[in-house]
Amino acid sequence: MLTAHKIALDPNDAQATHFARAAGTARFAYNWALAEWQRQYEACKADATLPKPSQIALRRQLNRVKADQFPWMLEVTKNAPQMAIIQLGTAFKNFFAGRAKYPKFRKKGLHDRFSLTNDQFGVDGSRIRIPVLGWVRMRETLRFEGKIMSATVSRVADRWFVSITVDTPMDSPLPKAENQGVAGVDLGVSALATLSTGEKNSGPKALKVLLSRLQRLSRGLSRKVKGSGNRKKARARLARLHARIGNIRQDALHQLTTHLTRRFHTIGIEDLNVRGMMKNRHLARSVSDMGLFEFRRQLDYKAAQRGGVVVVAGRWFPSSKICSCCGNKLETLPLSVREWTCLECGTIHDRDVNAAINLKNLAVSSTVSACREEGSGGALYGNVKPASVKQESSTKLPMISFG
């Protein structure tokens, strides 16, 4: 199973300059290849005998011309331009499959990164060897054991990080969950997560404060004169704040997913149609704030490490609209309604707790049917995930009980 670990780097000035140059080369190659792709695509539309653009052909083409046309490219690892074009190929693949938008040109300051294949770099304790450059210090050691697959060096605000992807072996399970119980988890708008036990986790408090500061700063930025020194300073401050918020959020998600997988064997969650939800203006903010993709990813691998199971409800499973007591289904339930009374059985529901209980019930019924009809069950509701992989240490998360 592939797991990535992102580690802060401690480059000296010369190394940071080299990173910036390699990232610039990668960006240039990506943008060059995207422009070529578009030109060749138009050309082959006009003349069907011409080949369609592909990342492989574009990489060969760049290799043929780079010594003449872009000799400065040779100053950094050949991985930088090559991997960038491979990534463009993936971006097009995702676009053709309907999973992503049409690839955009990379911008300086926004997409400062370059990638390395595993034959081009090495990790030794808390340092990493970058081709052409040499050893660079890392702030921590690599957390996962296994075959190292690739690395991406990137700039976030004014700091450099390396994300190392490791193929972790399947034979190092962690202790099983404390009780072999089942829980449903509703991710949401008013709380970070609501459990079927009635517990609510509102997410880190610091986040709220930082988010309002973020709002203030970005408003301030738009008032500053373009190109002025003050605007530059404000932009750097804003980028640092973004990075800090990202770290806090990531940390909160790690705590939550560790807590859940430690406590429960089977965990039911929604399959959030994130792309659809982003179109809903009210939901967009909270969804992007909380990183639902990331939540799902962490929960999957952490449950797998303990031999647990994540049951994902189908996209159209109406977790909010079913009464978890009597099964009565509402036609509609606007997002603004946080509490409702079932007209059939009279139960008063907290919207999120009710949804979590429905997800729990679904998890129970789908895992039961998975046992009964081997191989076929579970598919009905979503994927029942199998096991593996090592995991990071973590702290217990205080849960605020609902009442």
Just list the catalytic residues: 186, 270, 352
The verdict on 345 binding Zn ion (CB under 5 A) reads: yes
Strands 147-156 and 348-350: unpaired
User: Using a CB cutoff of 8 Å and minimum separation of 24, what contacts does 320-327 make?
Assistant: 320/186, 320/351, 320/354, 320/355, 320/358, 322/354, 322/358, 323/347, 323/349, 323/354, 324/349, 324/354, 324/357, 324/358, 324/361
Residue 323 interacts with Zn ion (CB under 5 A): yes or no = yes
Please name the residue that has the structure tokens 């962490």.
298
Span of 285-293, 324-332, 351-359, 389-397 interacting with Zn ion by CB under 5 A: 324-332
How does strand 159-167 pair with strand 181-187? unpaired
CB atoms within 10 A of CB 128: 23
Sole window of 3-11, 152-160, 266-274, 320-328 interacting with Zn ion (rule: CB under 5 A)? 320-328
Piece in contact with Zn ion (CB under 5 A), picked from 42-50, 141-149, 317-325, 350-358? 317-325
Give min distance, CB of 329 to Zn ion, in A.
9
Which of 211, 325 has the CB closer to Zn ion? 325
Does residue 343 interact with Zn ion by CB under 5 A?
no
326 scored as a contact of Zn ion (CB under 5 A): yes
Measured from the CB of residue 358, what is the shortest distance to Zn ion in angstroms?
12
Least distance CB 359 / Zn ion (angstroms): 17
# chain residues binding Zn ion, by CB under 5 A: 7
Give 326 or 379: the residue with its C-beta nearer to Zn ion: 326
Q: Cβ(186)–Cβ(319) under 8 Å?
A: yes
CA neighbor of 53 nearest in space, from 61, 63, 325: 61
Residue 399 burial (CB < 10 Å; 0-12/13-18/19+)?
middle
Binder among 210, 211, 283, 325 for Zn ion (CB under 5 A): 325
By CB under 5 A, residue 344 contacts Zn ion:
yes
Is residue 148 left, alpha or beta, with left meaning phi > 0 and alpha meaning psi from -120 to 50?
beta
Minimum distance, C-beta of residue 382 to Zn ion, in the bound complex (Å): 25
* Three-state DSSP state, 194: strand
Considering only residues 76, 83, 311, 342, which one is a binding residue for Zn ion as defined by CB under 5 A? 342
Binding site for Zn ion (CB under 5 A): 323, 325-326, 328, 342, 344-345
